[in-house]
Structure 1
Amino acid sequence: MPRFALLIEYDGTPFAGWQAQADQPSVQGAIEAALARLDPGFAAGARIAAAGRTDAGVHATGQVAHADLTRDWDPFRLSEALNWHLKPAPVAILRAARVDDDFHARFSALERRYLFRLIARRAPVTHDRGRVWQVLNPLDLDALRAGAAHLIGRHDFTTFRSTMCQSASPIKTLDEISITGHDIPEGREYRFCLRARSFLHNQVRSIVGTLERVGAGAWPPERVAEALAARDRAACGPVCPPQGLYLTGVGYPRDPFAQP
């Protein structure tokens, strides 16, 4: 059975998350329903596998999944057919690619990249409603960066993971947190870019929610290091809402979507 990698973009607002669920809409379920119209295996209940299981309300601009199909599709025609059958769900197949049988969207990945968008302004957001976290007052960018610096590297991230996290170990290596500020009409947008081989459940949202407290002046930057060292979920700052979070990319030893 030929294996195809899918590069996927979606608005997570109407979904209960990536993972298929019996009684709630999911991104995985939407794509598998589209595949079922094209492939007998999926009509019989086959599944796709993804690089990351995003939570309810979380978006993606660079999710990757793979599917084993009975027909050896031209990749462009496969993406076009899937996009036709995905309508009107806010899910798009940006590209499809034929890959080797040993490629696995999750287990072959070397890194995941996330973006969190936070807007600070008094007036409500309009065009970005449901796609950012809004706070009312501006944040101190230098303080945000100082707090984030304590989290770079290999640590026990027990403080920054959900109590429902199923990962075997809380130890992860956070390779990058870059934070930038951008002027917008009557306010400012802060973009948090995080990169690691893998993340714990709610790790990004826990980190951003904690750093917001630092940027707002409620926490000194050093308290982030203290919270990390505590290895106690109770030491974490507030977990920020999901709508500002985007899975923006997945890295592999060889880019499956690179043009030949």
Structure 2
Amino acid sequence: MCNQTRYLIFFQYIGTKYSGAVKVPPHQLGKKGVQDHLEDAIRRLRPLNPVSLSISSRTDRGVHALSNSAHFDLQRKNDKPLFTEDVLVEALNFHLKDEEISITRAYRVPADFHARFRALSRTYVYRIALGVSHRSQLPLTERNMCWNLRNTELDVGAMSEAATVLAGTHDFSSFRAVNSDLPFKNPVKTLDVARIHPGRAFVCEHFHREIPFWEFTFRSKSFLYKQVRRMTGALVAVGQGRISLGELKEILEARDSLAYPPNIVAPACGLFLTRVDYNQSDLLPSPQTSTAASDG
């Protein structure tokens, strides 16, 4: 007879060396996904059940996360107690020590909990560095963590006004990637937050100047494939004067990914998934899990 429990984990990663958040199909060679490494770490715990991780948010190749989440089931023999949350975090991080992936928190959750479908919202932050003509001018710690623009100034007022156009409930088909592998996903999304604010300036002594940063924050229950990068690229294009506020409205109202201007999509390197929120009550173990834990 065996005990099995479902865990929700929160984890962070630097996405540069990974193919994205989800696992790579067996027939594909090259970089692995974050999920591949997480599942390998869970297998090192020697569970009795097959390891299958369900990730809440599918970030693209090169995109980073300060807080993504996933759930999985873990089954152990009766003579072995269930892992406490702290022990699970420590054990998984031990097996991930050679990767740029780290578990930050873990919770025991009810058996019907689903990391993707129970999420209330997801928050992304996009970082932009100004006045940097080439990424080699950035400190090593920032080179794969932002989008460097030659511009020393952007029309922040115009970008902020453009962000209000995107906020609210819309059909975001124009901001879905043309090659989306989820063409039937509902394009109507509610963007609860779309704002632009100054980030922390980086003092670069070697170049004897400060590098100013701007951050774009977006929050919604869910997003379309590459929607955040395409929204960011459009807002920057407004700030650079490449498209007008009226043209942005026309792009949104076209509801057609082909209406999105070419060559303005923001690169993956500046994008961070920063939060996945749940109802606090969902993070409490089910009575069955609580009993199993106390008996262990």
Q: TM-score, normalised by structure 1?
A: 0.93
Q: Which amino acid aligns with 1:236?
A: Y
Q: Deviations over 1:84-128 (max 9, x none)?
A: 001210000001111111211001111111111011123621220
Q: Deviations over 1:57-97 (max 9, x none)?
A: 00001101111001321110110010000121000000111
User: 5+ unaligned residues in a row in structure 1: which ranges?
Assistant: none
Q: Which amino acid aligns with 1:177?
A: A
Give the corresponding residue for 1:179.
196
Deviation at 1:196, TM superposition (A): 0.4
Deviation at 1:257, TM superposition (A): 6.2
Give the corresponding residue for 1:112.
122
Deviation at 1:47, TM superposition (A): 1.1
Q: Is the CA contact 1:118–1:189 (under 8 Å) kept in the aligned structure 2?
A: yes
Residue 215 (str. 1) matches residue 239 (str. 2): yes
Deviation at 1:184, TM superposition (A): 3.7
Q: How does 1:135-154 map to 2 (within 5 A)?
A: 135-137=149-151, 138-154=153-169
The separation in 2 between residues aligned to 1:202 and 1:81, in whole angstroms, is 33
The separation in 1 between residues aligned to 2:60 and 2:13, in whole angstroms, is 12
- Which residue of 237, 245, 259 corresponds with 2:271? 245
Residue 231 (str. 1) matches residue 255 (str. 2): yes
Provide the aligned length of Structure 1 versus Structure 2.
Answer: 256
Q: Is the CA contact 2:22–2:34 (under 8 Å) kept in the aligned structure 1?
A: yes
The separation in 2 between residues aligned to 1:19 and 1:252, in whole angstroms, is 21
- Which residue of 140, 148, 168 corresponds with 1:134? 148
Q: Identity of counterpart residues, as a percentage?
A: 38
Give the corresponding residue for 2:207.
none
Q: How does 1:1-260 map to 2 (within 5 A)?
A: 1-21=4-24, 22=26, 23=29, 24-41=31-48, 44=50, 46-71=51-76, 72-122=82-132, 124-126=137-139, 127-137=141-151, 138-165=153-180, 166=182, 167-182=184-199, 183-185=201-203, 186-237=210-261, 238-254=264-280
Q: Is the CA contact 1:11–1:58 (under 8 Å) kept in the aligned structure 2?
A: yes
- Higher alpha-carbon Rg: 2
The separation in 1 between residues aligned to 2:281 and 2:219, in whole angstroms, is 17
Which shifted more, 67-76 or 11-20?
67-76
Q: Deviations over 1:142-190 (max 9, x none)?
A: 1110111111111111110012330422111111101102444433211
Q: CA RMSD in A?
A: 1.6
Q: TM-score, normalised by structure 2?
A: 0.82
Q: Is the CA contact 2:109–2:283 (under 8 Å) kept in the aligned structure 1?
A: no
The separation in 2 between residues aligned to 1:37 and 1:197, in whole angstroms, is 33
Deviation at 1:256, TM superposition (A): 5.9
The separation in 2 between residues aligned to 1:118 and 1:78, in whole angstroms, is 36
